[in-house]
Structure 1
């Protein structure tokens, strides 16, 4: 069993920011593929490529240690939560713009904070909820309703957010007992096995072009890199410290949505992003001052 990880908030924040940039690129490619192929095929490609890359990179270096886990049951549940997140979000991508989906997924930090305080015993001063709530108001400015009826894509995003919050809390919990590479391996393994079981019901022979296969391979590389960075971030800093910084993914998603899908945010969305960034900075400094006190 590993000793509790030392806390390095700045390092954790930097790891998280790198992970979020890669997540935004992963989402962009997934949205593109989902516009032409079934969701199950896209999710399968993402996890199977992730699994192969993880084995190729880490098995020669770590050997049998790669398979070691103190909590195999939790690793399976954690992996299934991420599969659920990926499937729900990719289904939302088929129905909604990239930036809007990303904005709506940001109910996750609130759920993570609640779960981390409740189940992991992490502390959160009452006044520090204010900038977090201000950040949520920025999310609402970006994700304001666009029509009179409820888009089913919104339901998919909310389901994905619930799965993702459980995934993040389990990542934090397992970081105390399992190595980062083992968590990365089990994420890929559970996802690959699950999607290989489901794939025959959705596979269309010869539907994937050479370009599609290359994009699918890139999904695996991006997924492996981003999740390793996130695991390292959660080992270095508490979930309550990192949660506000997850809003940075909104900036990346909006930029990529504009460049790839010609979806540029209006003034309200830009103002919402400003609120989110400012609230994240306030929380970051409050964490620094709290530790110095």
Structure 2
């Protein structure tokens, strides 16, 4: 397998796990900035501002380094459909957040790793060992413990959250199928190019735009840089490691979210959150152990 720069790429589930852990650490930082900005700016406008900032930073870097050609996908249909799936995923999960308690929406959305394991077997021929499957299910149990969701009456929000998980899982499967000849930059650029008009349309329809002050521009730029870095790490993680092995590390977002809550918002850490985090850490170990035993068999 050859990388976009011509160097050989050695598949590694361990390296993929480290990269995806970093990706969700960065994504959680982006969410923290969104939360800060949403105190004074409508959330849809925040999403648009951060997406635009990420796209501008990517274009600026490509122009400055003379690598603008790397932003053009060699598999435009695959890049477009992945971007479209992620755009729909974003709209659905935002709708779910509006209709459900956050804990319940997150819980349903975190079905993604289980769906990826199933879809990875069907479309990619990836087969988790029994220990790997145990790790995926234990991780979901950890999410349940950490979030301690209530039971809201079934409504369209539940359907939207589940559909969001399906669309995100499909986007990760497409990402895994992307050939190494496709640059990481092209995959990230196609996502941002599709997301920008979608985010603008939602912001324009959902609420009136408000003017930005200097701190608002600074936070938008920081959020865009983090979004860009998170997606770059996510793309690389799923191209290095197997989708069914890398996906369960999405559960780590509960841990990162708790960390940012303590540092930035003085959110107290509940005992059930600590217990859930410990279970999630155990699940990651089981998934990696299961993959190493299967590859060594």
Superposed pair shares fold, TM > 0.5:
yes
- Deviation string for 1:65-113 (max 9, x for gaps)? 2243232122122112222333444455567777765554321111111
Q: 1:64 to 1:259 in 2, by over 3 A?
A: closer
- Alignment partner of 1:181 is 2:185: yes
Q: Deviations over 1:165-219 (max 9, x none)?
A: 1221111112444111111111111111333444443563544332222212222
C-alpha distance in 1 between matches for 2:192 and 2:22: 20
1:86 to 77, 87, 90: 90
Which of 276, 284, 290 is residue 272 of structure 1 equivalent to? 276
248, 252, 272: which is aligned to 1:248? 252
**Alpha-carbon distance between aligned partners in 2 of 1:56 and 1:239, rounded to the nearest angstrom:** 31
Unpaired stretches in structure 1, ≥5 consecutive residues: none
Q: How does 1:151-166 map to 2 (within 5 A)?
A: 156-166=160-170
- The equivalent residue for 1:208 is 212
Instruction: Specify the SS of the correspondent of 2:111.
Output: helix
Aligned: 1:222 with 2:232? no
Does residue 56 of the first structure (1) align with residue 60 of the second (2)? Answer: yes
Q: 1:217 to 1:92 in 2, by over 3 A?
A: farther
In the alignment, structure 1 residue 231 sits paired with structure 2 residue 231: no
* Residues 258 and 275 of structure 1, relative CA distance in 2, 3 Å threshold: same
CA, structure 1 residues 153+26, in 2 after alignment: closer, same or farther (shift >3 Å)?
A: farther
Contact kept in structure 1, 2:59 and 2:68, CA below 8 Å: no
For the 8 Å contact 2:134–2:286, the answer to whether it is kept is: no
Moved more, 85-94 or 279-288: 85-94
Equivalent of residue 49 in structure 2, options 45, 53, 56 = 45
Give CA deviations for 1:237-270 in whole Å, capped at 9, x if unaligned. Answer: 1112212322222111112223334433422232
Contact between 1:31 and 1:93, CA under 8 Å: does it hold in 2? Answer: no
**Which sections of structure 2, spanning at least 5 residues, go unmatched?**
none
CA RMSD of aligned residues (A): 2.9
TM normalised by structure 2 equals: 0.85
2:139 matched residue in structure 1: 135
Q: Are the counterparts in 1 of residues 146 and 254 from structure 2 also a CA contact under 8 Å?
A: no
Q: Which deviates the most, 265-274 or 248-257?
A: 265-274
Moved more, 222-231 or 163-172: 163-172
Retained in 2: the 8 A contact 1:48–1:192? yes
